[in-house]
Amino acid sequence: MRTTQKLLLPLALTLAIAACSKPAEETQPAAAAETPAAAAPAAEAPATEAAPAATAVQAASGTYVLDPSHTDVLAQWSHFGFSNPSAHFGNVEGKLVYDAADVTKSSVEVTLPLSGLNSFTAKFDEHLKSADFFDAAKFPTATFKSTKVESAGTNKLTVTGDLTIKDQTKPVTLDVTLNNGGDHPMKKVPAIGFDATTTLKRSDFGVGAYAPNVSDEVKVRITTEGTIPAAEGAAEAAK
């Protein structure tokens, strides 16, 4: 009997130790072990602030005379895909009628003397002004006259008009941004300023030499500002 007790006591101790040494996860309730990680609440994405709305430029209604010193028409094209040269048209003359209450009543007329064409390379200037391209001796100016002005959003306009080069007239649409309006800080008269872009085909105006190796499409960028002459501004204020 004592021998049997001696044998049973170590066996009981062994079973007790084995039960206490089972991994903790095996003793957890089954429901807790089956809970997917996806059940945890998702973190909320941080809120993004909306971009502030553009402030509408306030410009006075009236007839503005364009300032040739601060007006530039830049034409750029591809040369065999190797480079993208450009030429400037300066000495621009023109006027802009701006109606702040109804922009559809606005209009613009511009004259570009080809004497102001400048590629910054004298030999190339001569070639551009030759009969191969603009034939400036026979057609000394290019002109643009608007036919329609529409609002395209805050400080944005779409201006459609007739562009004439070498006596060939085609419709052109300008995407226009109104940069600023208000009193000119130096001249003390109402001023206005715009940027505009468009894309033309040279061949539409008889200056398509060497296309398509020299790209037929020409990207045009315009920047300009103008002022209402002091006498006209005083007359408008007196009304």
Mean pLDDT of the chain, nearest integer:
85
Residue 189 placed within a domain: yes
SS (H, E, C) 36-92: CHHHCCCCCCCCCCCCCCCCCCCCCCEEEEECHHHCEEEEECCECCCECCEEEECCC
pLDDT of residue 52: 75
Residue 8 placed within a domain: no
| Rounded (to 5) percent helix, strand, coil in the chain | 25, 40, 35
| Per-residue pLDDT tens over the stretch 42-98 | 556 666 676 677 899 999 999 999 999 999 999 999 999 999 999 999 999 999 999
Residue 210 placed within a domain: yes
In sign, the C-alpha dihedral spanning 231, 233, 238, 239 is positive
**CATH number, domain with residue 105:** 2.40.128.110
**Cβ atoms < 10 Å from Cβ of 182:** 13
| Per-residue pLDDT tens over the stretch 162-188 | 999 999 999 999 999 999 999 999 999
**Cβ atoms < 10 Å from Cβ of 154:** 11
Tokens of 129: 């002004």
Residue 28 placed within a domain: no
Residue 85 placed within a domain: yes
Match 């996806």 to its residue by tokens: 38
Q: Which residue has the higher pLDDT, 7 or 195?
A: 195
Q: Buried (b) or exposed (e) across 44-72, using 16+ Cβ within 10 A?
A: eeeeeeeeeeeeebebbbbebebbbeebb
Number of domains in the chain: 1
Residue 12 placed within a domain: no
Q: Kindly state the average pLDDT of the residues 211-219.
A: 97
Give yes or no for residue 7 having a pLDDT over 80: no
Residue 40 placed within a domain: no
Which domain, by its residues, includes 104?
A: 62-238
Instruction: Please state the pTM of the whole predicted model.
Output: 0.76
Q: Which residues pair with 220 in a beta bridge?
A: 75, 198
